[in-house]
């Protein structure tokens, strides 16, 4: 089953959340780069969520934010 990508921003914590599912306590976590945390499925180790810390300060610098993951985008099939 395909899932959509959810994007949420917590202004108080300055964290951008990208996810295919709601975070849950059993997820494993791994820091991929400074301030970029991956949340992984504990059984399959598939990437389910990303947390990008200090998001507004990263964007305010005017620099491109490169995430250490590969992505594939698809539109939902009609019908």
Give the residue-averaged pLDDT of 2-24. 93
Tell me, letter by letter, the H, E, C secondary structure of 5-68.
Answer: CEEEEECCCCEEEEECCCCCCCCEEEEEECCEEEEECCCCCCEEEEEEECHHHHHHCCCCCCCC
pLDDT in tens, 35-76: 999 999 999 999 999 999 999 998 998 888 889 899 888 888
Sketch the domain layout of the chain as residue ranges. Answer: 6-60
pTM assigned to the model: 0.86
pLDDT at 71: 85
């Amino acid at each position: 089953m395909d899932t959509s990508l959810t994007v949420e921003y917590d202004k108080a914590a300055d964290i951008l959340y990208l996810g295919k599912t709601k975070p849950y306590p059993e997820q494993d976590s791994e820091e991929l780069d400074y301030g970029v945390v991956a949340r992984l499925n504990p059984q399959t180790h598939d990437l389910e969520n990303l947390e990008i810390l200090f998001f507004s300060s990263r964007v305010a610098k005017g620099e491109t934010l490169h995430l250490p993951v590969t992505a594939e985008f698809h539109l939902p099939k009609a019908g």
